[in-house]
Amino acid sequence: MKAYWFDNLPGDQREPHDSGREVSPEYLSKLGILHYNYPSLDSVNALATSRSYKNRDEITISPTALGAVYDDKIKAFFAEHLHEDEEIRYILDGGGYFDVRGQDDDWVRIKLEKHDLMIMPAGIYHRFTTDTQNYTKAMRLFQDEPKWTPLNRGEGTEGNQYRVAYVKQRDG
Protein backbone atom coordinates (compact mmCIF):
# COMPACT_ATOMS: atom_id res chain seq x y z
CA MET A 1 0.00 0.00 0.00
CA LYS A 2 1.15 3.47 -0.81
CA ALA A 3 -0.94 6.63 -0.58
CA TYR A 4 -0.31 9.94 -2.31
CA TRP A 5 -2.13 12.93 -3.74
CA PHE A 6 -3.34 12.34 -7.28
CA ASP A 7 -1.69 14.69 -9.78
CA ASN A 8 -4.94 15.65 -11.57
CA LEU A 9 -3.11 15.61 -14.90
CA PRO A 10 -4.84 14.29 -18.00
CA GLY A 11 -3.85 10.83 -19.17
CA ASP A 12 -4.82 7.20 -18.81
CA GLN A 13 -6.47 6.49 -15.43
CA ARG A 14 -4.28 3.36 -15.04
CA GLU A 15 -1.03 5.37 -14.97
CA PRO A 16 0.30 6.17 -11.44
CA HIS A 17 -0.64 9.90 -11.49
CA ASP A 18 1.72 10.39 -8.55
CA SER A 19 2.12 14.06 -7.58
CA GLY A 20 5.11 13.11 -5.41
CA ARG A 21 3.28 14.30 -2.29
CA GLU A 22 2.67 11.44 0.12
CA VAL A 23 -0.40 11.03 2.27
CA SER A 24 0.30 10.01 5.88
CA PRO A 25 -1.24 7.04 7.68
CA GLU A 26 -2.73 9.57 10.15
CA TYR A 27 -4.54 11.39 7.37
CA LEU A 28 -5.90 8.13 5.96
CA SER A 29 -7.22 7.18 9.36
CA LYS A 30 -8.86 10.62 9.66
CA LEU A 31 -10.69 9.80 6.44
CA GLY A 32 -11.85 6.58 8.12
CA ILE A 33 -9.70 4.26 6.02
CA LEU A 34 -8.15 1.17 7.52
CA HIS A 35 -5.45 -0.87 5.83
CA TYR A 36 -3.78 -4.20 6.53
CA ASN A 37 -1.47 -6.60 4.74
CA TYR A 38 -2.67 -10.17 5.20
CA PRO A 39 -0.54 -12.80 3.46
CA SER A 40 -2.90 -15.51 4.71
CA LEU A 41 -6.64 -15.88 4.23
CA ASP A 42 -6.90 -16.89 7.91
CA SER A 43 -6.44 -13.25 8.91
CA VAL A 44 -9.07 -12.15 6.39
CA ASN A 45 -11.49 -14.71 7.79
CA ALA A 46 -10.80 -13.57 11.34
CA LEU A 47 -11.43 -9.94 10.40
CA ALA A 48 -14.65 -10.87 8.61
CA THR A 49 -15.85 -12.75 11.67
CA SER A 50 -14.93 -9.95 14.08
CA ARG A 51 -16.89 -7.40 12.01
CA SER A 52 -19.81 -9.80 11.37
CA TYR A 53 -19.26 -10.04 7.62
CA LYS A 54 -21.34 -12.90 6.28
CA ASN A 55 -20.85 -12.79 2.53
CA ARG A 56 -18.10 -12.44 -0.01
CA ASP A 57 -17.40 -12.82 -3.68
CA GLU A 58 -14.38 -12.73 -5.97
CA ILE A 59 -13.94 -10.57 -9.01
CA THR A 60 -11.28 -10.69 -11.71
CA ILE A 61 -10.88 -7.49 -13.66
CA SER A 62 -8.71 -8.06 -16.74
CA PRO A 63 -9.08 -8.09 -20.52
CA THR A 64 -8.82 -11.90 -20.41
CA ALA A 65 -11.59 -12.28 -17.85
CA LEU A 66 -13.90 -9.61 -19.23
CA GLY A 67 -13.15 -9.56 -22.93
CA ALA A 68 -14.61 -6.73 -24.98
CA VAL A 69 -16.36 -5.08 -22.03
CA TYR A 70 -13.10 -4.55 -20.07
CA ASP A 71 -12.69 -0.92 -21.14
CA ASP A 72 -16.30 -0.07 -20.28
CA LYS A 73 -16.03 -1.84 -16.92
CA ILE A 74 -12.96 0.04 -15.77
CA LYS A 75 -14.55 3.31 -16.89
CA ALA A 76 -17.63 2.45 -14.81
CA PHE A 77 -15.54 1.62 -11.72
CA PHE A 78 -13.77 4.96 -12.22
CA ALA A 79 -16.98 6.99 -11.97
CA GLU A 80 -16.98 8.74 -8.59
CA HIS A 81 -19.45 7.07 -6.25
CA LEU A 82 -20.34 6.13 -2.70
CA HIS A 83 -21.88 3.10 -1.04
CA GLU A 84 -24.31 2.94 1.83
CA ASP A 85 -22.27 0.13 3.39
CA GLU A 86 -18.72 -0.13 4.62
CA GLU A 87 -16.60 -1.67 1.88
CA ILE A 88 -13.85 -4.27 2.41
CA ARG A 89 -11.62 -5.20 -0.48
CA TYR A 90 -8.82 -7.78 -0.34
CA ILE A 91 -6.40 -8.06 -3.24
CA LEU A 92 -5.84 -11.72 -4.10
CA ASP A 93 -3.57 -11.05 -7.06
CA GLY A 94 -2.44 -8.21 -9.29
CA GLY A 95 -3.17 -4.72 -8.02
CA GLY A 96 -4.99 -1.49 -8.62
CA TYR A 97 -5.80 1.98 -7.39
CA PHE A 98 -8.59 3.25 -5.18
CA ASP A 99 -8.94 7.02 -5.25
CA VAL A 100 -10.76 8.57 -2.30
CA ARG A 101 -11.70 12.19 -1.67
CA GLY A 102 -9.74 14.05 1.00
CA GLN A 103 -11.23 16.70 3.30
CA ASP A 104 -10.80 19.45 0.71
CA ASP A 105 -12.25 17.25 -2.03
CA ASP A 106 -8.86 16.47 -3.61
CA TRP A 107 -8.14 12.90 -4.70
CA VAL A 108 -5.93 10.66 -2.58
CA ARG A 109 -4.64 7.71 -4.62
CA ILE A 110 -4.19 4.45 -2.73
CA LYS A 111 -2.11 1.84 -4.48
CA LEU A 112 -3.07 -1.68 -3.48
CA GLU A 113 -1.01 -4.76 -4.20
CA LYS A 114 -1.38 -8.46 -3.59
CA HIS A 115 -2.48 -9.23 0.00
CA ASP A 116 -3.46 -5.64 0.78
CA LEU A 117 -6.80 -5.31 2.49
CA MET A 118 -8.62 -2.01 2.74
CA ILE A 119 -11.72 -0.99 4.66
CA MET A 120 -13.54 2.09 3.41
CA PRO A 121 -16.34 3.70 5.39
CA ALA A 122 -19.88 4.06 4.07
CA GLY A 123 -20.45 7.46 2.47
CA ILE A 124 -16.88 8.17 1.28
CA TYR A 125 -16.62 9.26 -2.34
CA HIS A 126 -14.23 7.00 -4.24
CA ARG A 127 -13.43 5.33 -7.54
CA PHE A 128 -11.35 2.36 -8.67
CA THR A 129 -9.10 1.50 -11.56
CA THR A 130 -6.74 -1.25 -12.54
CA ASP A 131 -3.12 -0.18 -13.01
CA THR A 132 -0.96 -0.72 -16.09
CA GLN A 133 -0.78 -4.49 -15.37
CA ASN A 134 -4.49 -4.56 -16.29
CA TYR A 135 -5.11 -7.24 -13.70
CA THR A 136 -6.95 -7.13 -10.39
CA LYS A 137 -8.23 -10.21 -8.63
CA ALA A 138 -10.08 -9.12 -5.52
CA MET A 139 -12.34 -10.42 -2.81
CA ARG A 140 -15.29 -8.19 -1.94
CA LEU A 141 -16.70 -8.75 1.50
CA PHE A 142 -20.23 -7.80 2.51
CA GLN A 143 -21.83 -7.55 5.91
CA ASP A 144 -25.12 -8.89 4.64
CA GLU A 145 -26.44 -9.53 1.15
CA PRO A 146 -24.01 -8.69 -1.63
CA LYS A 147 -24.98 -5.05 -2.16
CA TRP A 148 -22.33 -3.06 -3.93
CA THR A 149 -24.69 -0.69 -5.70
CA PRO A 150 -22.66 2.41 -6.50
CA LEU A 151 -24.43 5.74 -6.04
CA ASN A 152 -22.72 8.06 -8.47
CA ARG A 153 -21.91 11.50 -7.10
CA GLY A 154 -24.54 14.12 -7.86
CA GLU A 155 -27.32 16.17 -6.36
CA GLY A 156 -28.88 13.18 -4.65
CA THR A 157 -25.74 11.95 -2.91
CA GLU A 158 -24.95 15.21 -1.05
CA GLY A 159 -28.01 14.81 1.17
CA ASN A 160 -27.73 11.03 1.42
CA GLN A 161 -27.90 10.07 5.11
CA TYR A 162 -24.77 7.90 4.88
CA ARG A 163 -22.87 10.75 3.22
CA VAL A 164 -24.02 13.26 5.84
CA ALA A 165 -23.08 10.90 8.67
CA TYR A 166 -19.66 10.24 7.12
CA VAL A 167 -18.78 13.94 6.74
CA LYS A 168 -19.93 14.65 10.29
CA GLN A 169 -17.74 11.86 11.65
CA ARG A 170 -14.72 12.90 9.54
CA ASP A 171 -14.85 16.62 10.36
CA GLY A 172 -16.30 16.41 13.85
Q: Which residue ranges make up the annotated binding site for Ni(2+)?
A: 81, 83, 87, 126
Q: Which is nearer to ligand KMT, 62 or 136 (CB)?
A: 136
Count of chain residues binding ligand KMT (CB under 6 A):
10
Sort strands 126-130 and 151-152 into parallel, antiparallel or unpaired.
unpaired
**C-alpha 49 chain-centroid distance:** 21
Core vs surface per residue 60-75: b (16+ CB within 10 A) or e: ebbeeeeeeebeebbe
**3-11, 13-21, 48-56, 132-140 -> range binding ligand KMT (CB under 6 A):** 132-140
User: From the CB of 147, what's the least distance to ligand KMT, in Å?
Assistant: 11
Annotation: binding site: 81, 83, 87, 126
Q: Is position 87 an interface residue for ligand KMT (rule: CB under 6 A)?
A: yes
Sign of CA dihedral 47, 51, 57, 62: negative
128 binds ligand KMT (CB under 6 A): yes
Sequence ranges of the binding site for Fe(2+): 81, 83, 87, 126
Phi, psi of 168 (to 5 degrees): -60, -45
- 17, 89, 109, 163: which one contacts ligand KMT (CB under 6 A)? 89
H-helix or E-strand containing 143?
A: none
Closest CB to ligand KMT: residue number: 128
Q: Are 107 and 4 in contact (CB under 8 A)?
A: no
Of 1-9, 28-36, 133-141, 157-165, the window that binds ligand KMT (rule: CB under 6 A) is 133-141
Distance between CA atoms of 145 and 119, rounded to whole angstroms? 17
Applying CB under 6 A, the span of 50-58, 62-70, 136-144, 161-169 interacting with ligand KMT comes to 136-144
Q: Please count the other Cβ atoms lying within 10 Å of the Cβ belonging to residue 96.
A: 25
Which among 2, 105, 90 has a CA at the least distance from the CA of 46? 90
Q: Which residues would be at the binding site for ligand KMT (CB under 6 A)? A: 59, 77, 87, 89, 96, 128, 136, 138, 140, 148
